[in-house]
Amino acid sequence: MSKASAVELASTPRAGRATRLSFGAAVNAAQRQAMELDENVFVFGIGADGKAGIFGSTAGLKERFSARRVFDTPISEQSLTALAAGAANAGLRPVLVHQRFDFLLYSADQIANWIGPWRYISGGHATMPLTIRAIVGKGWGQGPQHSKSLHSWFAHLPGMQVVMPGSPADAKGLLLSSIFSNDPTLFIEGRSLYAMEEEVPDEPYFIRLGRALVRRPGKDVTLVAIGSLVPGGLEAAEQLAAERIEVEVVDLRTLVPLDLETVLASVGRTGRLVVADPGWRDFGAAAEVIASVCERVGPALKAAPQRVTWPHRYAPTSAPLEAGYYPTSADIVRACKSAVAGI
């Protein structure tokens, strides 16, 4: 596998002012600006209009845009999703918020049987420009019913886009793009990212869906990091740099569209692949990344690819068990080292 091509970091300069924002505040800002840009955008979900504003992510929107465009709901995930679908077909751009990913499972029928196929089934005539935001719980005993992240389920559905930001600035740019995309999008937010802060451009901006980001160059091993494991991946890369192992960190940003080109280019340089995926191991998203790469480069890999994922079990509630449950940067360090060693 050739190492010829130099690393190309996408580095479009940012114009204008920026403000240090938390992930939650960036999500909030994206919705606010989307609603300012387009009267068709509205935001709804359990607690969306409350003072707490779904971990702050919708706080103040109702005051700014009135109850017509920002509203609370009954606990009716199925019909709320159908409402979004019917409204999107009519040209609105609904944003439906779920405090926990687990709750949206009630609406799996609406997503898989109606929303995913909608445009295709119509022969390409109808559209379905809706966004479903789902927050994944983590820690403090969220347990089996508040910590699921079944992103691979929805990535498996033709017609659905699945977005998983790993930083505040990406959250804003990707959410704006999701809302204004003409296709249905599941936008997944790690609750554990909510406090993370970063400089976020003030103006509305759009990160094209389907463009992975090389967050750190490196020649020894490609680490594809997804969503809430992006920070841990960068931390691992930093640690490994001290040991002279150079990890190239590719933040996937979107599962669908999948930017295989960027991943393949990186693996072409490093010859080694580790995937860090904040979800269950078996039949999960990491498997797709590995399978897609292996299909194309096959025996040219220098080492067996590896997955760093949640163990294949439900999150236990007991604090020490939970602490041992979620993978950390140390697990990523270990995987990268073994990939490098396993030449």
Q: Looking at 56, 202, 235, 302, which residue binds another protein (CB under 8 A)?
A: 235
* Binding to ligand TPP, residues 40-59 (CB under 6 A): 46
Nearer to a second copy, 206 or 314 (CB): 314
Stretch that binds a second copy, among 16-24, 53-61, 108-116, 233-241 (CB under 8 A): 108-116
Min. distance of Cβ 147 from a second copy in angstroms?
Answer: 11
Q: Looking at 19, 64, 66, 113, which residue binds another protein (CB under 8 A)?
A: 113
Give yes or no for a contact between 238 and 332, defined as CB atoms under 8 angstroms apart.
no
Q: Looking at 1, 208, 243, 283, which residue binds another protein (CB under 8 A)?
A: 208
Distances (CA, A) of 272 to 10, 146, 249, 254: 21, 34, 12, 21
Stretch that binds a second copy, among 99-107, 124-132, 191-199, 228-236 (CB under 8 A): 99-107
Nearer to ligand TPP, 103 or 280 (CB): 103
Nearer to a second copy, 49 or 277 (CB): 277
Phi-psi region of 55 (alpha: psi -120 to 50; beta: other; left: phi over 0): left
Note whether 132 binds ligand TPP by CB under 6 A.
no
Q: What angle do CA 30, 105, 90 make, to 5 degrees?
A: 55
DSSP 303-338: S--EEEEE-SSPPP-SHHHHHHHS--HHHHHHHHHH
* Binding to a second copy, residues 156-195 (CB under 8 A): 156-159
CA distance 204 to 177: 10
Residue 84 interface partner, choices ligand TPP, another protein, a second copy, none, CB cut-off 5-8 Å depending on type: another protein
Burial per residue of 263-294, b for 16 or more beta-carbon CB atoms within 10 angstroms, e otherwise: bbbbbbbbbbbbbbbbbbbeebbbbbbbeebb
Nearer to a second copy, 25 or 96 (CB): 96
* Binding to another protein, residues 10-29 (CB under 8 A): 10-15
Note whether 124 binds a second copy by CB under 8 A.
no
CB neighbour list of residue 295: distance below 8 Å, 6 or more residues apart? none
Dihedrals phi, psi of 95, to nearest 5 degrees: -120, 110
CB atoms within 10 A of CB 183: 20
254-256 and 161-163: which strand pairing?
antiparallel
The contact mask relative to another protein for 52-91 (x = CB under 8 A, - = no) is x---------------x--xxxxxxxxxxxxxxxxxxxxx
Q: Based on the residue annotation, tell me whether 146 is a catalytic residue of this protein.
A: yes
Phi-psi region of 66 (alpha: psi -120 to 50; beta: other; left: phi over 0): left
Stretch that binds a second copy, among 20-28, 174-182, 221-229, 293-301 (CB under 8 A): 293-301
* Binding to a second copy, residues 34-53 (CB under 8 A): none
Min. distance of Cβ 75 from ligand TPP in angstroms?
Answer: 5
Reference 61, options 92, 24, 87; nearest CA is 24
Note whether 330 binds another protein by CB under 8 A.
no
CB atoms within 10 A of CB 229: 33
The contact mask relative to ligand TPP for 71-110 (x = CB under 6 A, - = no) is ----x-x---------------------x---x--x----
The catalytically annotated residue of 98, 146, 151, 312 is 146
